[in-house]
Amino acid sequence: MIEHRISLRNVGKINPARIEDYMAAGGYEALKKALQTPPENVIYEIIQSGLRGRGGAGFSTGLKKKFTSEAACVLLECMHYIVCNADEGEPGTFKDRIIMEGDPHLFIEGMVIAAYTVGAGKGYIYIRGEYHKSIEMIHKALASARAHGFLGNNILGSGYSLDIGVKLGGSSYLCGEELTLLESMEGKRGHPRIKPPFPAERGLFGMPTLINNVETLSQIPAIIINGADWYKRLGTEKSAGTKIFTISGDVKSPGYFEVEMGVTLRELIYNFAGGIKDGKRFKTALLGGAAGTFVPEAMLDVRMDFEDLQEKDAVLGSGAVIVMAEDQSILNMLHSIMRFFEHESCGKCVPCRVGTKHLLMLLNKISNNGQNKRPHIDALLHQSEIMAKTSLCPLGQSPVLAIKSAVRHFRKELQETQLT
Ligand SMILES: Cc1cc2nc3c(=O)[nH]c(=O)nc-3n(C[C@H](O)[C@H](O)[C@H](O)COP(=O)(O)O)c2cc1C
Ligand code: SF4
């Protein structure tokens, strides 16, 4: 398989700071086409394309638009919002940054089209504060889009108006979670809200809100130009299109690669990332970042799409692939992941606030106890399962993924090694 670039098609080819370059490459043609089409037909096309959210959850992008467009306001003054999730906090994930720095107009164009489909009157890009270059590029791109009539009042004479603002996040992993993100945007502490209601019904300031990831939005212009049937032919039956994978760790050429969904893990590691460095053997890859799963060598031929991975109790998540060579320690990696969760836990609910500390304690016991580690490994599993059932939000429900997969595939190693 070779790279197939949709979200990254202009990256490295055009000057991202010049809207003229983007337009010369066909930019904003999709917006022109969409604005001449009734919003419900645009939504239908996106549903038919099979595009699913690239932020991690994989929900149908078209259906989310349909629900948001149909949502009635509960407050007297009604305004639909659109929010682009550019928080990108998942360890090992750096795909959105490449789009924002390398071709910011692409996802902005997708965002304006998405906003039009739900009738949003105002949009925001919520971006992590450390992404200085991306922030600068986005501000420039928004200003030139306004100057060319692609944003603002009566866009391209269509009668539709939208402006987009930028909100900076404070580098909290949890603030990438959509409901916590909304709290943060409203100026409150980054604590999650209870679902339902979902953002489509009651989102920003209580209004129906469409939230999409940068990569998701960047796929929309190509769908509008080429049609749903073209898009559906890419990828696999239920995971259509292309996906950006970010490969890091013990590979010769770490980086980002956009390929059709369904590429195998082996192809990603050996064809795209050059194989394992220093002549070592592959041991495992952590798929989906900290909220992800370990896969062993026996699963190198798994197809990287939502269904195939789910069938094997693994996750695609944000597309992060963190590769570990034969001499890396699973116990060290688990410890580092649990330290991350302990640090990022917002402390609102007991199972996660206390549970993340307990998981770290158990990992230390597993490392220290030279005799029988089995009870501690079982307790680690049990504790993470309890957290998955009782925690208030997905953060506390996530440690079970890494722990379960590590114990399933590497129990013997966990019993024999110590933290270094
Ligand atoms: C703890 C946590 C962190 C998340 N961080 C991000 C993030 O940084 N960027 C993102 O797009 N989605 C993130 N998500 C997923 C969002 O909640 C949401 O599903 C996504 O923004 C929806 O957009 P999509 O449908 O285009 O994928 C996170 C979810 C959780 C539980
Ligand atoms: S699960 Fe963790 S992050 Fe989520 S509300 Fe509870 S303490 Fe906060």
Residues of the chain with pLDDT under 70: 74-76, 369-370
What pLDDT is recorded for position 75?
Answer: 65
**Would you call 231 exposed, middle or buried from its count of C-beta atoms within 10 A (0-12, 13-18, 19+)?**
buried
Token pair, residue 225, equals 């130009």
User: Which of 391, 398, 400 has the most ligand 2 atoms within 8 A of CB, as the residue to mutate?
Assistant: 391
Q: Which residue has the tokens 């304006």?
A: 112
Ligand 1 centre from 177 Cα, in Å? 5
User: Distance from the CA of 158 to the center of ligand 1, in angstroms?
Assistant: 32
**pLDDT of the residue at 74:** 67
User: 380 with 399: CB under 8 angstroms?
Assistant: no
Sign of the CA dihedral with 348 first, then 184, 134, and 34 last = positive
Contact 77, 96 (CB under 8 A): no
Of 261, 280, 264, which is closest to residue 272 (Cα–Cα)?
264
Taking alpha carbons only, the member of 68, 194, 42 closest to residue 123 is 68
Measure 57 CA to ligand 2 centroid, in angstroms: 18
Q: What is the pLDDT of residues 251-279, one digit of tens each?
A: 999 999 999 999 999 999 999 999 999 99
The protein residue whose alpha carbon is closest to atom 5 in ligand 1 is 176
Q: Count the neighbouring beta carbons within 10 Å of the beta carbon of residue 95.
A: 26
Residue 190 has φ and ψ, to the nearest 5°, of -75, 70
Cα(85) to ligand 1 centroid in Å equals: 7
Spell out the long-range contacts of 9-13 with Cβ–Cβ below 8 A and sequence spacing 24 or more. Answer: 9/103, 9/106, 9/222, 10/102, 10/103, 10/106, 11/98, 11/99, 11/102, 11/103, 12/102
User: Is 190 within 8 Å of 172 (Cβ atoms)?
Assistant: yes
CA of 89, closest atom in ligand 1 = 8
